[in-house]
Chains A and B, each alone.
Chain A
Amino acid sequence: MAQSEQEILEGLAEIVNEETGVDAKDVQPEKSFTEDLDIDSLSMMTIVVNAEEKFGVRIPDDDVKNLSTVGDAVKYIQNAQG
């Protein structure tokens, strides 16, 4: 079942906070995972796998490198939930 962008953003922010300690309110669509949130590739993989479970989607490894901002990830998840 598709969720709203806001629901996905909040869920993603929760995952990012859990894994990295970054404040959930700093996880905003325009933020870059690496540049703004200082998330390394290992943490990114954990976030992806946790997001797959939470949102019931599959994010292939090849697609992960295209998710540079939080907004990219939210849109990807929403489309995948379709």
Chain B
Amino acid sequence: MSTDQRIVVTGVGATTPLGGTAAQTWDALLAGESGARPLEQDWVQEYDLPITFAASIKQDPGEVLKRVEIRRMDPTSQYAIIAAREAWADAGEPGVEPERLAVAIGTGIGGVQTLLAQYDVLKEKGPRRVYPLTVPMLMPNTASGNVSLDLGARAGAHTTVSACASGAESMGYAADMIRSGRADVVVAGGTEAAIHPLPIAGFASMQALSKRNDDPTAASRPYDTERDGFVLGEGAAVIVLESYEHAKARGARIYAELASIGMSSDAHHITAPEPEGAGASRAMLEAVTRAGLEPKDISHINAHATSTPVGDIAEYNAIRRAFGDATEDMAVTATKSMTGHLLGAAGALENVITILTVHHRLIPATINLDNQDPAIKLDVVHGEHRKLPGGDIAALNNSFGFGGHNIALVVKSV
């Protein structure tokens, strides 16, 4: 075991509100597109939902999966499988012993659509009609189990659950699996499929969602003075991780190094962030330190920035607390302005975006930033995407989750 082993990213995959692949998603981000659109499902009217839009997945899984796969897997698994297959192919299908290949796929909620659909079956048709695969479809580890089956991964299949930090945590967990010698290659990411009336009603009840029903594409507006909540999204993002030596030995294309993970918990409130950012700043500093860097080495932050009035300020306070004046030289972007908030997949998607940002040396611009909140003194990239310099660069990716979970990842150029 080598604790200073370099872990690199050799494959990326995603299915998101912006596109059916990571490449399509990246192109849409550079084009400044929004994934938010009106919900067309009947249940919006049926339940008279207060929020009538979301960032729904762009490509119907039925276009790429077999009919039986759709039938026997909850959408959380469908999305994860699509993203994992893309990442695996993108990495050149690494030749690795099944016993040295692992999976780590996080989720915030798990198979909530199956749970609620089968509860309806129980009430309407009785217990005998409840689908026999109900439990394996709704369990939170359903996506990691299905991806391990699909790839034949036998070194372990893990599921990190930390609400909206789940996807980021899984990637850090995966890197630590390689460092601790448990696996040579890990397929890691996050998935979420919670666009359903119950989660929408729940988030709406807690006043977490933007109410901008008349203008969905302008609803997710991190750092803007008119921000009023997040836009619920769905999808999955997955990466292939391996040691630098392993990647080199097989001649793999390397996107970037996943240098470190920093973690902390607030122990402050079940949903509200600690307003001074004590916990979140510790996670960020830990990530930077574990990467062998100093704050001045971080040139870019892909922020958690969900577009809630309280959350965006709390994250700013945490960044400032962690990095002080060095904050001013960090170019920040909030890609949830385009993707919406993918909950348990958000951290995974934003880490994929951070990896591509470092790889292409191009920061996608935050959209809908018309009037920056004067209390948030960050250099937010907006209007046009921004080039990052040549040479060694490093970026930070923040993710926070209900429960007080703080996860920060550092991505370095290779």
Contact = CB atoms under 8 A, between A and B. Distances in A.
Contact of A49 (B66, B71, B128): B128
Contact of B68 (A21, A42, A45, A49): A21
A45 B132 contact: yes
B149 interface: no
Nearest to A46: B132
B131 A46 contact: yes
A19 B71 contact: yes
A67 B141 CA distance: 33
A19 B128 contact: no
Interface string B126-170: 001101110000000000000000000000000000000000000
B123 interface: no
Contacts of A21: 66-68
Interface string A34-74: 00000000110110010000000000000000000000000
Contact of A20 (B68, B129, B131, B132): B68
A26 interface: no
Q: Which of B68, B131, B132 has the most CB of A within 10 A?
A: B132
A49 B66 CA distance: 22
Contacts of A43: 132
A18 interface: yes
Question: Chain B interface: which size bin?
Answer: under 10
Contacts of B133: 42, 46
Contacts of A20: 68
B295 to A, nearest CB: 53
A27 B67 CA distance: 18
A54 B349 CA distance: 43
A49 B129 CA distance: 7
Contacts of B129: 49
A21 B66 CA distance: 8
A23 to B, nearest CB: 12
B128 A18 contact: no
Interface centre among A18, A20, A46 (most CB of B within 10 A): A46
Nearest to A40: B132
A49 B127 CA distance: 11
A42 B67 CA distance: 18
B132 A42 contact: yes
A43 B68 CA distance: 11
A54 B68 CA distance: 19
Nearest to B125: A53
Contacts of B67: 18, 21
A53 B129 CA distance: 10
Contacts of A46: 131-133
Contact of B71 (A18, A42, A45): A18
A18 B66 CA distance: 11
A18 B131 CA distance: 14
Interface string B35-79: 000000000000000000000000000000011100100000000
Nearest to B135: A42
Contacts of A45: 132
B268 to A, nearest CB: 44
A49 B309 CA distance: 50
Nearest to A61: B128
Contacts of A19: 68, 71
Nearest to A53: B129
A21 B73 CA distance: 14
A46 B131 CA distance: 7
A14 to B, nearest CB: 13
A58 B71 CA distance: 24
A21 B131 CA distance: 17
A33 to B, nearest CB: 14
A20 B128 CA distance: 19
A38 B129 CA distance: 23
Nearest to A52: B128
A40 B266 CA distance: 46
Contacts of A18: 67, 71
Given A19-B71, A42-B133, 8 more contacts: A20-B68, A21-B66, A21-B68, A45-B132, A46-B131, A46-B132, A46-B133, A49-B128
Interface of A: 18-21, 42-43, 45-46, 49
17 contacts: A18-B67, A18-B71, A19-B68, A19-B71, A20-B68, A21-B66, A21-B67, A21-B68, A42-B132, A42-B133, A43-B132, A45-B132, A46-B131, A46-B132, A46-B133, A49-B128, A49-B129
